[in-house]
Structure 1
C-alpha cells in the first residue's frame, strides 16, 4: 500500500460550489479572506455579494483603506485598526491611485476621479456604482485641481 492517495479521490472544482454553501462560508470569514475569495471565480464573487446583501458579513472593526507605496497602482492596502494587521488586495480599474477616497459607509467607499466624478466602490467585492455628477447635486461644487492630479 502506497501513501499516494491522490489517485483514489477525484479532484474537486471548488469554484463551482453551490451558492447557498458559499454564502454560509462567506458569513464566517474575515475581510481579508473575503477579499481573496472574490478572485476565485464569478460564482464566488456572487456568493460574497449575496452574503453582504443578506447582511451576513461579520462585523469586523474599522479598516483604514489607502494606496501604499510598496504596492502597484491597482492595489489597495486595508489596515485593521483593531488588530494592527494589514493586507493588500486588487481593485478594479481605473487604478486605485488615480482616485481619491472622499467618504465611506457600511463597507462602501465614495471615491472621486480626476474629473470629480463620484463612484461607490466595495473594496471586497469590487462592485462599482457611478453616482450622479457632482454638478447636478444642490449645494455641491466640483473642484478640479490640475496640479494635484498630475503626480
Structure 2
C-alpha cells in the first residue's frame, strides 16, 4: 500500500465507535509525524511543549492531568526532553515533594518554531474551522462522559 492510500476498515469493526476513535488517533499521529519530524519531536513531546508554552512552570501532576498520562509515561518523557535541553525540572521552594517543569530558552525557541503547526494541520485537513470545532466539541463531550462513567 503506498502512502497516498487510505486504509479502510471493513466489516463489523467499522461499526464500533471505539474502533473509529482508535483508528482516527492512529491517523492523527501519522498526519502530525512529518510536521513534527522536522522539529525532532514526537507527538507527546509536542503536546508537552504546547502546555508549557501556554503556562510554564507547571507541576508534573498538573501536566499528567492535562495530558491524561500516568507518571510512568510522563517522567521518562520529561527526562528525555530535559536531556535534549528543552526543559528543566526543579523542586518547588514551598514543597520539595513537588517538581516543577519549565521550558529552557532552547525549549521556548522550539515551541515558537512549532507555533505554525496548528495552521498547517487546519490547512492539511481541508475542513472548515467550524467543522473542526464542532467535531472537537463532540469529542470533548464524549471524553468527559467516558471519564465520568469510569469513576
Which TM class, normalised by the smaller chain length? under 0.3
What's the TM-score once normalised by structure 2's chain length? 0.27
Which of the pair has more CA radius of gyration? 1
**Going by fraction, where is helix more abundant, 1 or 2?**
2
**Going by fraction, where is strand more abundant, 1 or 2?**
1
- With a CA cutoff of 8 Å and minimum separation of 6, indicate the structure with the bigger relative contact order: 2
What's the TM-score once normalised by structure 1's chain length? 0.27
